[in-house]
Amino acid sequence: MSEGLSVSEMSARSGVTVSALHFYEREGLIRAARTPGNQRRYARDQLRRVAFIRMSQRVGLPLARIREALGTLPVDRTPSTADWRRLSAAWRAELDARIAVLHELRDDLDGCIGCGCLSVSRCALVNPDDARAAEGPGPRAVVDAIDAAGRDTSLTPGRPDGATEAPVPPTLVR
């Protein structure tokens, strides 16, 4: 079977590493046929799926949500514009919430540049009155906000905690 893209062609065309393609396949996000010599061959419609996965990763969607969304797409044809529009509409509120957290974080961090407190335990922004000391060292509110609103690392092969859901965005302590 020589039809379809080899794993190296798929990698080059999609901009995704071979190991990431293998991971996506193991996770059931993409599919590949096998040649009699057991080489992977990807149908061209899998390029769109990989592009969708990469876009979803960039906006911080967790692996479980990506898998769920891909499960609603047709397997017998390339997804249409209407398919993509339906998925993006379903995610709009979640993405808007993430954007709001990031804007708040950006605006709060702008004030930290010249603050001069030089101490996380005394910082009025990230740890007023050392209220979050029991949760561990460092700027907990900022770390939690970045984790919640930033790129979801559950999409990275080999995440040690095996988590598949992003945490709920917290409100920064003031």
Does residue 68 lie within any of the structural domains? no
Q: Which residues lie below 8 Å from residue 128, measured CB to CB, with a gap of 6+?
A: 173, 174
Domain count, the chain: 1
Q: Position 169: which residue type?
A: P
pLDDT band at 160 (very low <50, low <70, confident <90, very high): very low
pLDDT digits (tens, 9 = 90+) for 21-34: 999 999 999 999 99
Does residue 44 lie within any of the structural domains? no
Do 84 and 48 touch, CB atoms closer than 8 A?
Answer: no
Q: Which residues lie below 8 Å from residue 168, measured CB to CB, with a gap of 6+?
A: 148
As given in the structure block, the two tokens for residue 1 are 């079977």
Per-residue CA distances from 127 to 4, 63, 131 (Å):
55, 31, 6
Q: Write down the pLDDT at residue 108.
A: 72
pLDDT digits (tens, 9 = 90+) for 104-121: 878 777 666 556 565 555
Does residue 129 lie within any of the structural domains? yes
String of DSSP letters for 72-140: TS-SSSPPPHHHHHHHHHHHHHHHHHHHHHHHHHHHHHHHHTT-----TTT-TTTSGGGTTGGG-SS-H
Q: Write down the pLDDT at residue 163.
A: 44
Does residue 48 lie within any of the structural domains? no
Does residue 58 lie within any of the structural domains? no
Does residue 155 lie within any of the structural domains? yes
pLDDT digits (tens, 9 = 90+) for 1-59: 458 999 999 999 999 999 999 999 999 999 999 999 999 999 998 998 999 899 888 88
Name the residue range of residue 110's domain.
Answer: 91-174
Instruction: Round to whole Å and give the CA distance between 155 and 144.
Output: 18
Instruction: Round to whole Å and give the CA distance between 86 and 106.
Output: 30
Does residue 53 lie within any of the structural domains? no
Does residue 41 lie within any of the structural domains? no
pTM for this one?
Answer: 0.60
pLDDT digits (tens, 9 = 90+) for 70-86: 888 887 777 888 988 88
As given in the structure block, the two tokens for residue 106 are 């950006």
As given in the structure block, the two tokens for residue 120 are 């996380």
Q: Which of 93-97, 135-139, 153-157 has the lowest mean pLDDT?
A: 153-157
Q: Write down the pLDDT at residue 26.
A: 95
